[in-house]
A and B are shown apart, each in its own frame.
Chain A
Amino acid sequence: MLIRFDHPRMFDNLLQDFVVGDFTSAVKSFPAIDVAEHENEFVLLAEMPGVKKEDLKLTVENNALTLSGMRKPYEIPQDARVLLNEVRVREFSRSIEFPSDVEVDKIAAELQNGLLRVVLPKAERARVKRIEIQ
Chain B
Amino acid sequence: MGNNGKEALMRKHSSALAKRTEPVERSITPVADIYETADAFVVKLDIPGATKDSISVSVEPGYLSAKGLVGPHHTEDANLLLGEIGRRSYFREFNLTEGINHKEVEAQFEDGVLTIRLPKTDEMKLKEIPIK
A36 to B71, CA, bound (A): 14
Residue A59 interfacial (CB < 8 Å):
no
Residue of B nearest to A86 (CB): B31
Contact across chains for B36 and A114 when beta carbons are under 8 A apart: no
Write the A5-46 contact mask toward B (1 if CB under 8 angstroms, else 0). 000000011001100000001100110111111110011010
Within 8 A of B (CB), among A98-134: 98-99, 113-115
Q: Is the interface of B mostly helix, strand, loop or mixed?
A: loop
A82 to B42, CA, bound (A): 10
Residue total for A at the interface (Cβ-Cβ under 8 A): 48
Given contacts A50-B112, A82-B35, A87-B33, contact A37 B81 (CB under 8 A): yes
Contact across chains for B3 and A17 when beta carbons are under 8 A apart: yes
Residue B104 interfacial (CB < 8 Å):
no
Within 8 A of A (CB), among B4-42: 4-11, 14, 22, 28-29, 31-38, 41-42
Given contacts A84-B33, A96-B9, contact A13 B80 (CB under 8 A): no
Contact across chains for B7 and A47 when beta carbons are under 8 A apart: no
Write the B68-83 contact mask toward A (1 if CB under 8 angstroms, else 0). 0000011101111111
Residue of B nearest to A61 (CB): B6
Write the A63-97 contact mask toward B (1 if CB under 8 angstroms, else 0). 01000000000101101111111110000011111
Residues of A within 8 A of B (CB): 12-13, 16-17, 25-26, 29-30, 32-39, 42-43, 45, 47-52, 64, 74, 76-77, 79-87, 93-99, 113-115
Q: Which 8 A-B residue pairings sit nearest by Cβ, starting from the closest?
A: A114-B112, A114-B48, A36-B78, A49-B112, A115-B49, A49-B46, A84-B34, A49-B48
